C-alpha cells in the first residue's frame, strides 16, 4: 500500500514538474525580448519548488495532494499554449474590431492591429510600447509644466510626421541657436492614419495643456482616402474599450481561437463607402478649428502642404487596387485640391504657410526624397524636410530674442 502511495506521489510530482518546467523554459525564451518575463519565471519557479515541497508534507500527513494535478493540467492547457504562441510571435489583435466595431471604424482593417482604442481620437499607439509616451504619441514623455528654458513646438500630423522629421527640426534649430539659454523641443503629436478631424481633437485637448510656443500642422493624405463605414465626423466615439477588450488584447490564446472561428462567423466586416474620410468642406473647417484653438492661447500656427512625387513620377497602382481612391486621376485631383485648402486657411492672420508641395516638387531628385509610395519620406528625405521646416521656423517665426546670446547683467 505504501509503495502504491509513493508511486502515485512520484507520478503526480513528475506531471507537475514537467508542466511547470515547460512554462519556465518558454518564459526564458521570452526573456530575450523583454526583462518583464523575469517576474513570470520567478512566479513559476516558486510554484514549482513550493508545490513539490507541499506535496511531500501533505503525503506524510496523509492528506490529498491531487490539486497539484489540477494546477498541472491548467498550466498545460492555458499557460503553455499562451507562452508558445508568444514565442512564435503570433498576434491577431485586428480581430478585436469585430468585438467593438466602432472602435476602429474609420481605420483600414490591415492597420488596426498596432493600435489601441481611444475614446477621443479613435485610436492611439499603445503607451506600454517602447518609445511611446503616456499620451499614446511617439517619443519621450511630455513634461508638464513646460520647463522655463524650453521653446516647445507641437507637430500635429499623420504617419508622415510620425516617421521622424520633427527630430531633424529639433536638431537643426538647436544647432543654429547654440546659445545655451533656450532649448527647442519638438513634440510629435502624430499617429498613422490620423486625419485633420483627429488634429482638431488634439488641438482641443492639448493646445493649452502642453503649453506650446508654436504649432505645425501637416495633414491631407488620410483626409482624402476612401472612408470605411463612415466619414470621420460621423464616427461614434468608442468610449472605454472595456475589460473584455483588454483581456483579449493581452491574450494570444484568445486571439488564436478568435482567428479560428472567424471563417465560421463570416470573416471581418469591411465596408468602403462612396465618401472620403474628411470631405473637403470639413477639411477646411477642421484646419480653421485647429488654428482658432491655438489662437486662443496666442500660439502661432504653421500649415504645411503635403508634398508628393505623384505629379512627376505617377501614382502607384496599389492605391486604386486597395481602394484608397477610385482612380489615379482622382488621387492627383483630390490631393491638389486639399493642398489648395491649406493655402487658403493659411492666409489668415497669425498663421504661416510652408508650401512644401511646391518646394519639394521643384527638386530634381524625388526618387531620393520619397519612398515608393510617393507619400512618406526616405531617411534622406526626412532630413531634407526637417531642415527645410527648421530653416523656415528660424527665419519666419522664431522670436529674435531667442536668437541672441544670453546677456549677463552682472
Domain boundary among 87, 104, 129: 87
| CATH code: domain of residue 141 | 3.40.50.1110
Q: Which pLDDT score is estimated for 410?
A: 38
| 16 and 161 housed in the same domain | no
The model's confidence at residue 380, banded by pLDDT at 50, 70 and 90, is very high
Q: Is 257 domain-assigned?
A: no
Compute the mean pLDDT over every residue in the chain, rounded to the nearest whole number: 87
| 72 and 189 housed in the same domain | no
Phi, psi of 351 (to 5 degrees): -125, 155
| 207 and 346 housed in the same domain | yes
Residue 388 has pLDDT above 80, yes or no: yes
**H/E element holding 189?**
strand 183-190
Domain boundary among 37, 62, 87: 87
| 167 and 23 housed in the same domain | no
Of 151-155, 165-169, 195-199, 258-262, which range is least confident? 258-262
Domain total of the chain: 2
**For 329-341, what is the mean pLDDT?**
97
Residue bearing the bigger pLDDT, 65 or 106: 65
Q: Is 99 domain-assigned?
A: no
- What's the whole-model pTM score? 0.73
Q: Is 385 domain-assigned?
A: yes
Q: For residue 360, which of 374, 373, 345 has the smallest C-alpha distance?
A: 374
Q: Which pLDDT score is estimated for 338?
A: 98
- 260-310, pLDDT tens digit by residue? 776 555 555 557 889 999 999 999 999 999 999 999 999 999 999 999 999
**For 144-148, what is the mean pLDDT?**
94
- 233-267, pLDDT tens digit by residue? 988 766 555 666 667 767 888 878 877 776 555 55
The region that residue 314 occupies, defined by phi over 0 for left and psi between -120 and 50 for alpha, beta otherwise, is: left
**For 335-355, what is the mean pLDDT?**
94
The model's confidence at residue 349, banded by pLDDT at 50, 70 and 90, is confident
| 71 and 157 housed in the same domain | no
Q: Is 243 domain-assigned?
A: no
| C-alpha gyration radius of the chain | 28
Give percent above pLDDT 90 in the chain. Answer: 60
| 17 and 74 housed in the same domain | yes
Residue 179 has pLDDT above 80, yes or no: no
- To which residue does cell 549677463 refer? 408
Q: Which pLDDT score is estimated for 102?
A: 41
Helices 67-74, 2-31: axis angle to 10 degrees equals 30
| 77 and 221 housed in the same domain | no
| 184 and 289 housed in the same domain | yes
Q: Is 374 domain-assigned?
A: yes
| 206 and 291 housed in the same domain | yes
Q: Which residues pair with 154 in a beta bridge?
A: 187, 215
- Return d(Cα 276, Cα 287) in angstroms, integer: 16
Q: Which pLDDT score is estimated for 99?
A: 35
Residue bearing the bigger pLDDT, 74 or 34: 74
Q: Is 373 domain-assigned?
A: yes
Q: For residue 158, which of 241, 277, 239 has the smallest C-alpha distance?
A: 277
Q: Is 108 domain-assigned?
A: no
Residue bearing the bigger pLDDT, 147 or 262: 147
The region that residue 346 occupies, defined by phi over 0 for left and psi between -120 and 50 for alpha, beta otherwise, is: alpha
Residue 127 has pLDDT above 60, yes or no: yes
- 79-122, pLDDT tens digit by residue? 999 999 999 888 765 433 333 344 344 455 545 557 778 889 98
The region that residue 62 occupies, defined by phi over 0 for left and psi between -120 and 50 for alpha, beta otherwise, is: left
Residue 204 has pLDDT above 60, yes or no: yes
| 224 and 276 housed in the same domain | yes
Q: Is 102 domain-assigned?
A: no
Q: Which pLDDT score is estimated for 409?
A: 35
**For 122-144, what is the mean pLDDT?**
89
| 83 and 132 housed in the same domain | no
Q: Give how far the C-alpha of residue 246 lies from the chain's centroid of Cα atoms, to the nearest Å.
A: 17
Taking residue 268's Cβ as centre, other Cβ atoms within 10 Å add up to 13
Q: Which pLDDT score is estimated for 333?
A: 98
Q: Which pLDDT score is estimated for 253?
A: 85
**For 38-57, what is the mean pLDDT?**
90
The range of the structural domain enclosing residue 80 comes to 2-87
> What are 293's three cell numbers?
484653438
Q: For residue 394, which of 162, 241, 173 has the smallest C-alpha distance?
A: 173
| 202 and 157 housed in the same domain | yes
Classify 303 as helix, strand or coil: strand
Amino acid at each position: 500500500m505504501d509503495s502504491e502511495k509513493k508511486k502515485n506521489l512520484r507520478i503526480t510530482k513528475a506531471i507537475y514538474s514537467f508542466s511547470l518546467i515547460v512554462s519556465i523554459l518558454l518564459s526564458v525564451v521570452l526573456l530575450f525580448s523583454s526583462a518583464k518575463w523575469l517576474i513570470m519565471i520567478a512566479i513559476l519557479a516558486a510554484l514549482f519548488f513550493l508545490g513539490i515541497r507541499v506535496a511531500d508534507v501533505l503525503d506524510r500527513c496523509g492528506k490529498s495532494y491531487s490539486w497539484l494535478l489540477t494546477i498541472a493540467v491548467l498550466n498545460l492547457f492555458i499557460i503553455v499554449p499562451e507562452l508558445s504562441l508568444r514565442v512564435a510571435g503570433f498576434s491577431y489583435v485586428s480581430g478585436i474590431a469585430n468585438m467593438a466595431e466602432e472602435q476602429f471604424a474609420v481605420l483600414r482593417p490591415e492597420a488596426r492591429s498596432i493600435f489601441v482604442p481611444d475614446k477621443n481620437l479613435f485610436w492611439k499607439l499603445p503607451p506600454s510600447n517602447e518609445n511611446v509616451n503616456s499620451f499614446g504619441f511617439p517619443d519621450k514623455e511630455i513634461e508638464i509644466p513646460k520647463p522655463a528654458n524650453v521653446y516647445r513646438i507641437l507637430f500635429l500630423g499623420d504617419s508622415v510626421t510620425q516617421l521622424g522629421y520633427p527630430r531633424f527640426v529639433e536638431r537643426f534649430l538647436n544647432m543654429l541657436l547654440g546659445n545655451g539659454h533656450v532649448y527647442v523641443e519638438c513634440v510629435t503629436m502624430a499617429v498613422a492614419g490620423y486625419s485633420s478631424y483627429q488634429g482638431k481633437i488634439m488641438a482641443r485637448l492639448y493646445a493649452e495643456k502642453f503649453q506650446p510656443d508654436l504649432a505645425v500642422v501637416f495633414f491631407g493624405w488620410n483626409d482624402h482616402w476612401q472612408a470605411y463605414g463612415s466619414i470621420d465626423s460621423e464616427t461614434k466615439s468608442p468610449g472605454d474599450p472595456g475589460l473584455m477588450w483588454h483581456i483579449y488584447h493581452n491574450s494570444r490564446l484568445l486571439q488564436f481561437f478568435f482567428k479560428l472561428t472567424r471563417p465560421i462567423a463570416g470573416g471581418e466586416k469591411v465596408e468602403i463607402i462612396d465618401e472620403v474620410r474628411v470631405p473637403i468642406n470639413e477639411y477646411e473647417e477642421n484646419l480653421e478649428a485647429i488654428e482658432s484653438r491655438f489662437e486662443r492661447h496666442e500660439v502661432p500656427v504653421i500649415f504645411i502642404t503635403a508634398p508628393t512625387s505623384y505629379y512627376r513620377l505617377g501614382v502607384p497602382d496599389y492605391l486604386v487596387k486597395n481602394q484608397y481612391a477610385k482612380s489615379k486621376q482622382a488621387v492627383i485631383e483630390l490631393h491638389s485640391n486639399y493642398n489648395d485648402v491649406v493655402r487658403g486657411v493659411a492666409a489668415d492672420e497669425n498663421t504661416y504657410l510652408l508650401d512644401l508641395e511646391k518646394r519639394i516638387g521643384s527638386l530634381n531628385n524625388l526618387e531620393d526624397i520619397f519612398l515608393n509610395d510617393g507619400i512618406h519620406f526616405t531617411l534622406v528625405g526626412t532630413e531634407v524636410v526637417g531642415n527645410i521646416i527648421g530653416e523656415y521656423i528660424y527665419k519666419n517665426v522664431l522670436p529674435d530674442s531667442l536668437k541672441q546670446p544670453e546677456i549677463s547683467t552682472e
